[in-house]
Structure 1
Amino acid sequence: MKRGKAFSCSLLNYFLLITTVSSAAVDDNRTCGQSSCGKVTNVSHPFRLKDDPQNCGDPSYELACENNITVLSLLPGRNYHVESINYNNFTIRLVDPGISGEDCSTLPRYSYFGTNLQQLSYDGIQEREAYFRNGSTSGTEYVTLFYNVVFLECSNPVRDDPRYVDTAPCIKEDHHVYAVFGDLAVVELRDGCRVKLFAAASALMSPDQNCSYAEIHRTLNYGFELSWLKGACEHKCNSSMHYACSIDQTAQSSLTLTCVEEKIHGLGCYTSLLQKECGNNL
């Protein structure tokens, strides 16, 4: 879990107006009820199913219902199964359709790279701020929602690195197949090994602890979480204005959004938590 400081920049004067709004409140789409598909029974704004009325939900967060399974297409041809949607912390949990919880020999269908998210409406990291009653903050906390699972094919066995978890007897191939839970630097790649595929999994365990392949596969079967905080902020904080947005995690029951309006006079530069680009005439 990494910590940092939210920042903004300007060339001239600015002031802040802080307004806190509940994450559970939904202002638009009041005529739209919740949609359901299979195990996911709470599809509501900003999400929508393809067959929902046009005024319901945001097209950027459209889901499909296929064979009674809720599906999210992250990229063309890459359809992940939706396990749950959490409106309290702005996350959606996905599972690769190639993974079967009852069969440890199953592998992810898609090779996942986190950089793919840069062009999408989702993030793998959330920014959360803890606010005191007097309005001051204790800083921003960056929460990592998932970790990499790297599958490797090796011509020789690797016995001196506990991070290389042997997938046998689950995966039986002519060469040795290992799984590494967490990031793997290039210098940590052993001779005779090559990357077979990348997968994503939310942590049911620490990447630093030793684990069995059964535990790694169980984590893959649980899936990985993505944040749709960007969409929630744009909806609550009026994306036509210059707003920054973060999560106030002071409340224990559910997280709330905090909108910060910045009014800048003259030419200036503004960088929000949503990574909006700086520009002129703000």
Structure 2
Amino acid sequence: MRREESSNFLAYLFSLLIFLFVRDVQARKLQQIQCSTSCGDIKNISYPFRLKGDPSGCGDPNFELSCQSNKTILEYHSGKYYVKRISYDDRKITVVDVNLANGICGLPQKSLSYYNIYDYNDYRYHIHYDPFTKAHFVRCSSKISDPTYRILPCLNIGNQSYVYVRYGGHSLIYDIPESCSFISTVPIRKASADDNPSYETIQELLRSGFDLKWSVGCKDCRPADRHSYCDLDQDKCVNYD
């Protein structure tokens, strides 16, 4: 009889521990999702995002932002970007390079394109190229006459160095003039109609920022082993057949 009572008690204790564990996990997940904060113009920063300094249970640490001088900042691939808006329904975050945010003549802090950020083991963010294209920056030792290159007058150094930006084209500039060297490539919003916009228009387009699409469901996806891939539309890992 005592053995039966002892067995029942152990079964009850085991069930209780399982219940408490599951409840604790669910509570942590609920807290993680329900946390909300703000910084400057960006209100209701919530899951999967968190601000640096938020309680440990808030958001996903892989999607941590910071608040500096009342501006929300995303640090990504060694670059720093101001957050302009977050669309939770579309899973898109609009950002702008801190060096281009004020519309003042300048160079991107970091080159950023699909090819130099693509990482099989990092599925947090993906450049969303629709309706975006690319802008390429080059430095030349002499002036060039190609009208598709727009000069950045504020960055010229006498008659020794000239900086140009080229709108659109390939991810890498295969036809850079001989006197020029590549500086960087960044995403840029597509111009409404002009395939060869002025420098002022390019500057305004750069200041408007670009979109990154985030994925939480694919954070454990490891396609490098060729067994799975990230389905961005469904936000989940899918195994190859």
Q: TM-score, normalised by structure 2?
A: 0.70
Listed as ranges, the matches of 1:169-180 within 5 Å are 170-173=154-157, 174-180=160-166
Deviation per CA, 1:100-146, whole angstroms, max 9, x where unpaired? 4352x222222334322423510114xxxxxxxxxxxxxxxxx6364
1:145 to 1:176, Cα distance in 2 relative to 1, 3 A: same
* Aligned partner (choices 158, 163, 167) of residue 181 of structure 1: 167
Q: CA deviation at 1:45?
A: 0.9
Task: State the partner residue of 1:99.
Answer: 100
Q: CA deviation at 1:165?
A: 1.6
Q: CA deviation at 1:44?
A: 0.8
1:70 to 1:109, Cα distance in 2 relative to 1, 3 A: same
CA distance in 2, matches of 1:101, 1:171: 16
What stretches of structure 1 move > 6 A for 4+ residues in a row?
none
Q: Which consecutive residues of structure 2, in runs of 5 or more, have no partner in the other structure?
A: 1-28, 222-227
CA distance in 1, matches of 2:230, 2:139: 44
Task: State the partner residue of 2:127.
Answer: 124
RMSD: 3.1
Deviation per CA, 1:209-259, whole angstroms, max 9, x where unpaired? 11111111111111111001x21x459xx98xx997554xxxxxxxxxx58
CA distance in 1, matches of 2:240, 2:156: 52
Check conservation: 1:145, 1:202, Cα contact below 8 A: yes
Check conservation: 2:229, 2:239, Cα contact below 8 A: no
**What is the SS of the residue equivalent to 1:211?**
coil
Task: State the partner residue of 1:201.
Answer: 188
Q: Report % sequence identity.
A: 28
**What is the SS of the residue equivalent to 1:219?**
helix
Check conservation: 1:49, 1:64, Cα contact below 8 A: yes
Q: TM-score, normalised by structure 1?
A: 0.61
Deviation per CA, 1:172-204, whole angstroms, max 9, x where unpaired? 323222111123454421121111222232334
CA distance in 1, matches of 2:49, 2:218: 14
Task: State the partner residue of 2:64.
Answer: 62
1:51 aligns with 2:57: no
1:214 aligns with 2:200: yes
Check conservation: 2:150, 2:164, Cα contact below 8 A: yes
Structure of higher RCO (CA pairs closer than 8 Å, 6+ residues apart): 1
Larger Rg: 2
1:172 to 1:186, Cα distance in 2 relative to 1, 3 A: closer
Which structure is higher in helix share?
2
Q: Which consecutive residues of structure 1, in runs of 5 or more, have no partner in the other structure?
A: 1-26, 126-142, 248-257, 260-273
1:167 aligns with 2:152: yes
Could you tell me which amino acid in structure 1 is paired with residue 80 of structure 2?
N
Listed as ranges, the matches of 1:127-138 within 5 Å are none
Could you tell me which amino acid in structure 2 is paired with residue 171 of structure 1?
L
Could you tell me which amino acid in structure 1 is paired with residue 175 of structure 2?
E
1:157 aligns with 2:143: yes
